[in-house]
Amino acid sequence: MKSVQDFRENIQLNSTLIIKGQEHTIQQIIKFRFDNGDFYFKLYLIDGNVLADDLERNCFIFVKEVFDDLEIVEKTLVYDNKTFKWLYSAKTTAEEVWGSGRWKVGNQETFSDYESNGNYLSLGVNSQTGKREDYYGKILQPKDIKIKEPK
């Protein structure tokens, strides 16, 4: 993959992703819009992993849901023996949804994101259910991801 933009132009619901050599099947693709009009794509994978793109930084966030009841704060926090720096907090709305899963058009989420030396932590709340949705994983570069076309 050359870039996040290249990924956005080529991703399809029936595609299989190869992430760092491992195949992952897409279950749902959501286009989330920020309040300022920017957007990002979040892909829920059948194996429970989640891949989100970051066009501005030309990278991807590859995470899995965690259930550790962390406090959402706008400062540093420690998780998994790593010190994470708060990046930003946001509210987004699902503008377009493909495939089946937990998200529907119009659903919203609020979250705070943190980074620590290539590790990523996103602490959020699904506005429809009021339930926490926290994710932990790694920041990946476009070269780490390939799209395997459907047969």
What's the burial of 17, exposed, middle or buried (CB within 10 Å: 0-12/13-18/19+)?
Answer: buried
| Angle in degrees, CA 66, 68, 74, rounded to 5 | 95
Count of CB atoms situated within 10 Å of the CB of 16 = 16
Residue 151 has pLDDT above 70, yes or no: no
Residue 14 has pLDDT above 90, yes or no: no
Q: What is the pLDDT of residues 66-82, one digit of tens each?
A: 998 898 888 999 999 99
pLDDT reported for residue 30: 97
